[in-house]
């Protein structure tokens, strides 16, 4: 099959929605996800799968599934560009290294920068979707064009009537999920929920919000990219909503179950401090930082962490959040004490 799908001809605006999935040693989840996508009622979408340098046989397994189910697919070289999208096709990249979530998604979006698509979808590979979830998002977007980003209602994979989140709100450098861990019948709103925080798990966005063909900041190798995007959208007064009749199911944390907990907590806070430093002015950041450090102290103490350990944690966080302006791949690996990925 031809590895190149470049086309030098001028193309008209397409209604085909590119759906971007990242895979990293998780081909079983990825296959389940694309199987649910191909079961959708519409045919105006295509799928981009980027393998983030898996150490297993993910590419072979995904290719075999596509071949067995007679799905059209093409392999693309890293950095190759696409000028037109074929409905119901799958495009596969095998990255030469693990770029992390934000950069890998940005690389795919750069690949289709010349395609005049209207909307695209970032979707976790550990999700499965309802057959009409995409059409519900697209229909809402047509009726409400002022909303630049949408998310479906995200429920747990098991039990499916329990909500993981319906978007959320940003406040004082923190976020709160709406209806987290609630039964689906607890929702009071009818059509939508106005939100200021959207997770990268399922992010339906208008192409116009891209900055230099990028959706996410690349300052963070793991985590924080959706928080930073939400802060940026809120500052720009862009409208975001959760569309309640669009639903997907998330196998929560299946991609991070092996990460040691205390290191993950430190990474979470270091990401947040560096992010807020970039978005707040010096005076606001000074007050936020010291109040948040007090909050962290009491939060860790509540979980019976010894005071000496908490003090070491806070001292290190204070120092490194001042010293660094990003948490790159090398820092991530060092914090998590894992081998190069």
Bridge pairing between strands 17-23 and 45-51: parallel
Averaged pLDDT score across all residues of the chain: 92
Is the pLDDT at 203 greater than 60? The verdict is yes
Structural domain for 106, as ranges? 17-250
For 180-196, what is the mean pLDDT? Answer: 97
Q: Are residues 186 and 104 in the same domain?
A: yes
**Rounded to whole angstroms, what are the CA distances from 326 to 106, 190, 329?**
17, 40, 10
Q: How confident is the model at residue 258 (pLDDT cuts 50, 70, 90)?
A: very low
- pLDDT for 254: 45
One domain for residues 40 and 175: yes
Residue 262: band (very low, low, confident or very high) from pLDDT cuts 50, 70, 90: confident
Q: How many residues does the chain have?
A: 341
* 113 & 219 share domain: yes
CA 120 to chain centroid: 12
Mean pLDDT to the nearest integer, 69-88? 93
Query: Which pLDDT score, from 0 to 100, does residue 261 have?
Result: 75
Would you place residue 340 in the very low, low, confident or very high pLDDT band (cuts 50, 70, 90)?
A: low
Least-confidence region, from 59-73, 163-177, 326-340: 326-340
Is residue 12 predicted with pLDDT exceeding 50?
no
- Specify if 303 maps to a domain: yes
Six token digits for residue 283: 């005076």
Residue 267 and residue 232 share a domain: no
Residue 239 counted as domain residue:
yes
Q: How confident is the model at residue 339 (pLDDT cuts 50, 70, 90)?
A: low
Q: What is the mean pLDDT of residues 85-114?
A: 95
Q: Give the model confidence (pLDDT) of 275-328 as tens digits.
A: 999 999 999 999 999 999 999 999 999 988 999 999 999 999 999 999 999 999
Asked, as a colleague might, if the bond just before 96 is cis with ω within 30 of 0, I would say: no
Q: How far apart are CA 183 and CA 155, in angstroms?
A: 9
Instruction: Report the alpha-carbon distance of residue 30 to residue 204 in Å, rounded.
Output: 19
Shared-domain flag, residues 57 and 197:
yes
Last residue of one domain, picked from the residues 222, 250, 278: 250
List of E strands, 180-269: 192-195, 202-206, 239-250
Token pair listed for 111: 């690949």
Q: Which residue has the higher pLDDT, 317 or 256?
A: 317
C-alpha 320/C-alpha 14 separation (Å) is: 46
DSSP 259-306: S-HHHHHHHHHHHHHHHHHHHS-HHHHHHHHHHHHHHHHHHHHHTT--
Q: Which pLDDT score, from 0 to 100, does residue 14 have? A: 57
Provide the β-strand partners of residue 48.
20, 91
* pLDDT at site 41: 86
Q: What are the pLDDT digits (tens) for 144-159?
A: 999 999 999 999 999 9
Cα angle for residues 68, 25, 161 (degrees, 5° grid): 80
Domain assignment of residue 2, yes or no: no
Provide the pLDDT for residue 341: 56
Strands 45-51 vs 89-94: parallel, antiparallel or unpaired: parallel
DSSP helix/strand/coil, 45? strand
pLDDT at 28 over 80: yes
Q: Is 186 exposed, middle or buried (0-12, 13-18, 19+ CB in 10 A)?
A: exposed
Domain match, 109 and 35 both? yes
Q: What is the end-to-end Cα distance of the chain in Å, rounded?
A: 30
Q: Clarify whether residues 219 and 285 are in a common domain.
A: no
* Helix (H), strand (E) counts: the chain: 9, 13
CB 155 within 8 Å of CB 248: yes
Asked if residue 12 is part of any domain, the answer here is: no
CB atoms within 10 A of CB 322: 12
Q: What is the maximal distance between C-alpha atoms in the chain?
A: 65
- On whether both 136 and 199 belong to a single domain, the answer is yes
Give pLDDT tens digits for 240-255. 999 999 999 999 854 4
Give yes or no: residues 82 and 175 share one domain: yes
Structural domain tally of the chain? Answer: 2
Domain contains 3: no
Residue 257: pLDDT band (50, 70, 90) is very low
pLDDT at 1: 36
Confidence at 256, pLDDT banded by 50, 70, 90: very low
Tokens representing 22 are: 């990242």
Please report which residue ranges of 146-281 form alpha helices under DSSP H. 225-235, 261-279
Mean pLDDT of 191-195: 98
């Amino acid at each position: 099959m031809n590895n190149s799908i470049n086309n030098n001809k001028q193309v008209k605006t397409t209604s085909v929605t590119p759906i971007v999935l990242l895979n990293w040693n998780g081909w079983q989840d990825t296959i389940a996800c694309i199987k649910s996508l191909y079961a959708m009622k519409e045919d105006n979408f295509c799928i981009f799968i980027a393998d983030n340098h898996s150490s297993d046989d993910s590419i072979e397994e995904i290719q075999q599934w596509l071949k067995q189910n007679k799905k059209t697919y093409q392999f693309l070289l890293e950095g190759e560009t696409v000028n037109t999208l074929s409905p119901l096709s799958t495009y596969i990249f095998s990255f030469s290294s693990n770029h992390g979530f934000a950069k890998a998604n940005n690389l795919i979006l750069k690949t289709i920068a010349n395609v005049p698509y209207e909307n695209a979808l970032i979707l976790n590979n550990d999700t499965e979707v309802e057959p009409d979830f995409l059409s519900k998002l697209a229909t809402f977007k047509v009726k409400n064009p002022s909303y630049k980003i949408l998310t479906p209602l995200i429920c747990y994979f098991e039990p499916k009537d329990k909500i993981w989140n319906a978007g959320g709100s940003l406040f004082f450098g923190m976020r709160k999920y709406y209806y987290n861990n609630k039964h689906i019948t607890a929702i009071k709103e009818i059509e939508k929920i106005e939100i200021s925080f959207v997770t990268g798990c399922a992010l339906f966005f208008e192409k116009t919000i891209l900055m230099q063909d990028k959706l996410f900041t690349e300052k963070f190798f793991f985590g924080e990219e959706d928080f930073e995007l939400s802060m940026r959208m809120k500052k720009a007064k862009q409208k975001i909503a959760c569309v309640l009749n669009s639903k997907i199911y998330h196998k929560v944390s299946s991609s991070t179950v092996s990460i040691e907990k205390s290191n993950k907590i430190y990474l979470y806070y270091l990401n947040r401090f560096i992010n807020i430093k970039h978005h707040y002015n010096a005076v606001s950041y000074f007050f936020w930082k010291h109040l948040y450090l007090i909050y962290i102290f009491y939060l860790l103490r509540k979980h019976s962490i010894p005071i000496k350990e908490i003090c070491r944690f806070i001292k290190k966080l204070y120092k490194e959040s001042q010293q660094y302006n990003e948490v790159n791949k090398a820092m991530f690996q060092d914090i998590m004490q894992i081998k190069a990925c």
